[in-house]
Structure 1
Amino acid sequence: MTTPHHTPLHNPPLRLGILGCANIAKQFARDVSDSPLVAIQAVASRDLTKAQAFAQSFDIARAHGSYEALLTDAALDAIYIPLPNSMHAEWAIRAMQAGKHVLCEKPLALNLTEVTRMFEVARQQGVMLLEAYPYWFQPQTRDLLGCLSHDKIGEVRSVQASFGFTVGNTDTNIRMKPDLGGGALLDAGSYPLSLIRLVMGCAPERVMAHANWAATGVDISLMATLFYADGRRAQMSCAMDTANHRRAIIVGSRGTVETEYLNHTSDSHTHPWGYLPSQLRVRQGIANSIPFEDVHSASGSGFRFAAEAFAQVVREGDMAAIERAATASHDIAATLDAIQTSAKTGEVVHLSR
């Protein structure tokens, strides 16, 4: 996927509905509200009063008191799904069966079986389904991929990627509930795994994982090693009981890249919503005496970049871009499944294909 330029459309903007009123939906609506490429025209909640308050806050034309009502809203082209992980597959499938394109929050679903079914429905219905990792659509990610060219760092040999934070309100937080798709791996680990997939270009052959478990039964922290058929290695870590950290180190035969790969970025440390500059730097050479060079990228909300990239591929009917993203989502889901199994069994697990 590519980051669109913020230029006026000759065609009307993508007419988007938001399925749910959680905090992430509020952040998405705030960041996308003034986009020339996307028009948020409706929002739904199972509580009409909540949907009406949400719509009023973000100047959205229509509020629906049920999810079903949003899916039958004939004035919408697409649906954005920020629901709990356990609800992604059901409502994405229902939206696509209603003829709507779907932009769905990560992780796309709870397992590979659900992900496979979701893309089957998308193809059957002739609509587009895209997993929304906001950082994927950042200009910095485009520049990161540029740093991986052979003439800069040679052949990529290994990746280490991590993401962690401290989860609040542990008694009520959905991240602590197994039945809602909670746990560090699905909530946080999907990010470093998606970065590893982006860099490596394929799924690993097998994985080995170790986790610490919370009293509720979810993994509170996890580390995994990924083994590739060509001998490359990757390591990922995720946690919900640590200080916030987000970092990736990509090591090539002739150079190194380091990045934070943040979802949302700013040019300064004084952004009104707390967005920060995101580091990307590259060392071209094998000696530790060679300094790293900072790479400066355009900044902004990953929610807006993702929504506008989605609008662009829908408008252009760019199925090739969607299929590339679908292949990555399939590989990420297969890897998540294998890591979960390994963490529970303590054994090396080969990926299902």
Structure 2
Amino acid sequence: MSSTQTSSVLRLGILGGANIARQFARDVRSSTNVRVVAVASRSDDSAKAFAESNGIERWFGSYDALLASPDIDAVYIPLPNSLHAEWAIKAAEHGKHILCEKPLALDRNEAARMFEAADRNGVMLLESFPWYFQPQTAAMMSLIGEGAIGDVRAIQANFGFTVGNPGANIRMKPELGGGALLDAGSYPLSLIRLVMGAAPQRVDAIATWADSRVDISLMATLVYADGRRAQVSCSMDAANHRHATIIGTQGTIETEYLNHTSEQSGGHPYGYLPSQLRVRRGIPNSVPFETIESEPGSGFFFAAESFARMIATHDTAAIEYYAQVSLDNAATLAAIIASARGERSVAL
């Protein structure tokens, strides 16, 4: 546990004032285990404006100033992808636990340095995929674990959308870690890694490139040492789509694995929708799909609660498990983009 933590409530500071930070602060507000107590920005004015509009009591005009505060136990990092490693390492050196937006790092070496800094300073580092901590995801993994579809043989997973304001959007800037793969593709890849339980042996990818030199769309095939296969596709030039099919020897699971879910199909104040999870327990297509219901809610809320629980219970086993997942994801993302750029197979 961080040496600064003195209460059962995790006191969290946010580094940066991006839109995703606003959503995070809003959705975590109902937690009794996590409290967003501060935000930092590049200036006092922007930090103050963010704090006042989001009900946060303290603000800092620099990230370093927030990290130096003894009254903050942990930080949430929603910064551009290229800044994750720098500020996660600095946070660890200040004794802060770190909940970091996906993708954790730009490659495996960068991710390894982040975890080494966390270990060296006795803090916990967790990559935040909101969908990962949804009750629906636990239900999906229970189905697989109990053998509802037999042995998993293949996965097809996708996520894409149309990027807004491409001229100024950070997703279109290579120097900030932009591109469809890192932004959208990290989601289906995280599902593939979760279900497969290992990194692939090699990858083959093809991409379409934007004028700014980031991948605007990409597809890849992942080949595993035991003969299993997975396919991942992502895009920033298509209608919003998000779906995964998990194919087993005795059945099939289909899911939208949404970050944030609702019981209602319309009218949610934040636009959240129900997320599909259904299973076919059988080989023939005459077997009907069964819909699986789970508790809905914000993935930001569920991720923050899980993070706080790991810290409170000193659950190093969970952190070590997620660390290996993040290292595998980072290595796979780097291999996929290398394959697409070189138009060749890349081994991990």
SS of the equivalent of 1:314 reads helix
Q: Aligned letter for 2:311?
A: V
**Is 1:234 matched with 2:230?**
yes
1:55 deviates by: 1.1
> 2:191 corresponds to which letter in structure 1?
L
- Give the structure 1 partner of residue 345 of structure 2: 348
1:113 partnered with 2:109: yes
Give me the whole-angstrom Cα distance separating, in 2, the residues matched to 1:61 and 1:19: 15
Secondary structure of 2:91's counterpart equals: helix
Map of 1:144-183 to 2, 5 A cutoff? 144-183=140-179
- 1:2-41 → structure 2 map (5 Å cutoff): 12-41=8-37
Matched-pair contact (CA < 8 Å) for 1:33–1:58 = no
Q: What displacement does 1:151 show?
A: 3.1
Question: Which of 129, 134, 141 is 2:137 aligned to?
Answer: 141
Equivalent of residue 270 in structure 2, options 252, 269, 273: 273
Q: Counterpart of 1:300 in structure 2: which amino acid?
A: G
Deviation at 1:59, TM superposition (A): 1.9
- Residue 52 (structure 1) aligned to one of 48, 51, 65: 48
Choose which of 272, 297, 300 in structure 2 pairs with 1:300: 297
Number of equivalences = 341
Deviation (angstroms), 1:175: 0.3
Identity of aligned residues (%): 64
Superposition RMSD in Å:
0.7
The 3-state SS of whatever aligns with 1:198 is helix
1:77 to 69, 73, 79: 73
TM-score by length of structure 2 reads 0.97
Deviations 1:82-107 (A, max 9, x none): 00000000000000000000000000
CA offset at residue 201 of structure 1?
Answer: 0.3
Which deviations, in whole Å up to 9, do the C-alpha atoms of 1:153-195 show, x marking residues without a partner? 1000000000000001010000000000000000010000000
**Corresponding residue number in structure 2 for 1:131:** 127
How far apart, CA to CA, are the structure 1 residues paired with 2:214 and 2:117?
A: 30
The residue type paired with residue 55 of structure 1 is A
Equivalent residue number for residue 246 of structure 2: 250
Letter in 1 for 2:188: P
CA contact (8 A) 2:115 2:125 kept: yes
- Whole-angstrom distance in 2 between the partners of 1:61 and 1:241: 39
**Structure 1 residue runs of 4 or more that deviate by more than 2 Å after TM superposition:** none
In structure 1, distance between residues paired with 2:52 and 2:147 = 52
Instruction: Determine if contact 2:253/2:279 at 8 Å carries over to the other structure.
Output: yes
| Structure 2 stretches lacking a partner, 5+ long | 1-6
Aligned pair 1:97/2:121, yes or no?
A: no
Measure how far apart 1:150 and its partner are. Answer: 4.8
TM-score (norm 1): 0.96
Partner of 2:258: 262
> Please, which of 76, 83, 86 is the counterpart of residue 82 of structure 2?
86
1:193–1:236: 8 Å Cα contact kept in structure 2?
A: yes
